[in-house]
Amino acid sequence: MQINDRPHDFRKASVSAVADKVLGAAVRKTADIFVSMRAASIAQLAGFEDLRDWGRSRKLEVSGRLEEYALEFANRIEAAGAIVHFAHDAAEAAAIATDIAVKRGAHTAVKSKSMTAEEISLNEALMQAGVTVTETDLGEYIIQLAGEKPSHIIAPAIHKDRNQVAQLFHRFLGTPPGLDVDSLVRAARKTLRDRFLAAEIGITGANFAVAETGTLVLVTNEGNGRMTTTLPPVQIAILGIDKIIPKISDLPGFLTLLTRSATGQTISSYVTIITGPRKPGEEEGPEELHVVLLDNGRSLLARGPFREILHCLHCGACLNQCPVYRAVGGHAYESVYTGPMGDVLSPLLWGMKAYPDLPDACTLCGRCAEACPVRIPLPEYHRKLRILRAEGQTQWAAGASAAIAANPLLCRTSLGLLRQILAHHEGLLNGRTEGALGAWTTCRELPRPGAGPGFRTWWRNRERGSL
């Protein structure tokens, strides 16, 4: 989901985000909790670094043969009774899911949090087709009521405090004003329980899809994943082909990498491992299971220089560590994918024209790469994207300075001249906000050359031993 049609302006969006002190404090508080829980959880587990290497190697195996694995997964889960749909792009995936709902004559759907469904703007497509979609992850439900976007991948409504949530529930659910957190959670339980029981469609993503067995794996703490895949008569699972892991024996290792990196939990409250729709004689589960396998550029990415971005487990560990994300929060990215992995993935999925400056939302500090459970080289990818963006652009300033530097006489003369000018006209460059140098001087002071001899003279004298 690219939110705007116009190119995204991260600098502009981050100015208002930084000014929002409530957002900033909430994002940093949440990130700090996740960071310390992750650290504690990893410290008590021997061999986590080896597990990260293993995770990367298994993901390299998949991204090296992405289409083959997608086919194997599709064949297996079809053999288990599911109906598989391949979607080339976002529009096709949304159309497939909408078509399923319309053909069933469905009007209500419950949804368990799915980034891939966000990527294809599924809610909007279903609403247009007359299907009411209720988000059932509590955080997602809160921001759905508020008409806002997630500020954190794991804790989407963290920018709203309890009073704001109480007001929303008062307005939309008719609860008394000023409820405490516990009562708010119970009010949500009551409302969403009714939605689960009435829903005609359950929409999910998948945290993993096992090729060998044709199995979908969902990880939740609230239990909404279990409800969504047990109560409605139809389940539609939407997943990118990058979610595939080769074998069921890979699952325990990936679960450990995911939950310890995301929240520091040994495991999430619920892991739901689904291999096909309800079987004859069973009293639970959907009669129909549709699996929408989304490419949307992934098979192309797998063959290019950013292949490992497909390895992302969506754990959020890189967000929590990132100094830029911690300063601005999720909204400023104006994309479903935020933080370091979003800086890389958004321009790759929607084009550099749509997200021209997200590769700059990075200080190259490397903390994201340190935290990534599958060792995606995120800082390196930021740098590569900047290089790609620069290629083909007219670099007149760089070209001119290269020409000057290549000619010693010209270089000496121009630098000396510049020194003289700056020494006598201090205000010439500083304080300017317009023009080619404006980006530099709006936030920096160019120091006035000192009274000393200048570097070149100083160097010459030093060579002569007269320092």
Partner 1 sequence: MSRSEILERYVGIARAAGTHVEFITADDLPGRLAPILLELTESRNPAPMDNPEPRLAALPASGWPQGLQESVGIILAASGYETIMPREMPGGYAWDRDRLARASIGITWCAEFLADTGSLVLPAGPGMGTLAALLPEVHLALSYAEGCRTGLADYLRERGNTLPRRLTLVTGPSRTGDIEATMTTGVHGPRKVLHFILDGVDPETPHADG
Q: What is the β-pairing status of strands 270-274 and 215-220?
A: antiparallel
Size of the site for partner 1 (CB under 8 A): 69
If one asks whether residue 133 binds partner 1 (CB under 8 A), the answer comes out as no
Cβ neighbours, 10 Å, residue 248: 17
> How many CB atoms are closer than 10 A to CB 81?
15
- Indicate whether 181 belongs to the interface with partner 1 (CB under 8 A): yes
Tokens 């700059």 found at: 360
From the list 240, 239, 223, 236, the residue with the least C-alpha distance to 287 is 236
Residue 110 binding partner 1, by CB under 8 A: no
Residue 193 interacts with partner 1 (CB under 8 A)?
yes
Any contact of residue 150 with partner 1 (CB under 8 A)?
A: no
Window 65-84: residues binding partner 1 (CB under 8 A): 80
Nearer to partner 1, 2 or 224 (CB): 224
Q: Any idea which residue has 């010459």 for tokens?
A: 460
Rank residues 29 and 444 by Cβ distance to partner 1 and give the closer one: 29
* 306: number of Cβ within 10 Å: 19
Residue 230, interface with partner 1 (CB under 8 A)? yes
Report if residue 221 touches partner 1, rule: CB under 8 A.
Answer: yes
Q: Is 30 in the site for partner 1 (CB under 8 A)?
A: yes
* Residue 338 makes contact with partner 1 by CB under 8 A: no
Question: Smallest distance, Å, CB 127 to partner 1?
Answer: 23
Residue choice 36, 75, 128, 269 for contact with partner 1 (CB under 8 A): 269
Q: DSSP E strands: which ranges in 308-382? A: none
Q: Which phi-psi region, left, alpha or beta, contains residue 278 (left: φ > 0; alpha: ψ -120 to 50)?
A: beta
Taking Cα atoms as reference points, which of 362, 342, 353, 355 lies closest to residue 392?
A: 353
Q: Which residues on adjacent β-strands are paired with residue 202?
A: 110, 235
Does position 171 interact with partner 1 (CB under 8 A)? The reply is: no
Please identify, using beta-carbon distances, which residue of 9 and 212 lies nearer to partner 1: 212
CB of 150: closest distance to partner 1 in angstroms? 11
Q: Which of 11, 12, 29, 412 binds partner 1 (CB under 8 A)?
A: 29
> Could you tell me if 357 and 11 are in contact, meaning their C-beta atoms sit under 8 angstroms apart?
yes
Q: Which tokens is 398 given?
A: 């760089």
CB of 61 to partner 1, least distance (A): 17
Q: 289: helix, coil or strand? A: strand
User: According to CB under 8 A, which residues from 391 to 430 bind partner 1?
Assistant: none
Beta bridge partners, 289, equal: 235
The reply on whether position 252 binds partner 1 by CB under 8 A is yes
Structure tokens at 99: 């078509």
CA distance 382 to 377: 9
Q: Which of 199, 274, 332, 371 binds partner 1 (CB under 8 A)?
A: 274
Q: With binding defined as CB under 8 A, does residue 50 bind partner 1?
A: no
Q: Does 137 bind partner 1 (CB under 8 A)?
A: yes
The reply on whether position 146 binds partner 1 by CB under 8 A is no
Shortest distance, position 258 Cβ to partner 1, whole Å: 12
In this chain, which stretch among 98-106, 191-199, 312-320, 373-381 interacts with partner 1, using CB under 8 A? 191-199
Residue 284 touches partner 1, criterion: CB under 8 A:
yes
Q: Measured from the CB atom, is 263 or 296 closer to partner 1?
A: 263
Among 100, 184, 293, 369, the residue binding partner 1 under the rule CB under 8 A is 184
Which two structure tokens, joined as six digits, stand for 235? 């389940």
Q: Give backbone dihedrals phi and psi of 220, rounded to 5 degrees, phi first.
A: -140, 160
- For residues 3 and 336, what is the distance between their CA atoms, to the nearest angstrom? 8
Report the C-alpha gap between 278 and 288 in whole angstroms. Answer: 8
Which CB, 199 or 345, lies closer to partner 1? 199
CB of 205 to partner 1, least distance (A): 17
460 binds partner 1 (CB under 8 A): no
Give min distance, CB of 178 to partner 1, in A.
Answer: 14
71 backbone dihedrals φ, ψ, rounded to 5°: -65, -45
Distance of CA 317 to the CA centre of its chain: 10
Which residues have C-beta within 8 Å of that of residue 64, sequence separation ≥ 6? 302
Cβ count within 10 A of residue 387: 9
Rounded CA-CA distance 349/213 in Å is 29
Pick from 161, 287, 370, 445 the residue near partner 1 by CB under 8 A: 161
Interface residues toward partner 1, by CB under 8 A: 26, 29-30, 33, 80, 136-139, 142, 155-158, 160-162, 165, 181-186, 188-190, 192-193, 196-197, 212-213, 215, 221-224, 226-227, 229-231, 247-249, 251-252, 255, 265-276, 278-285
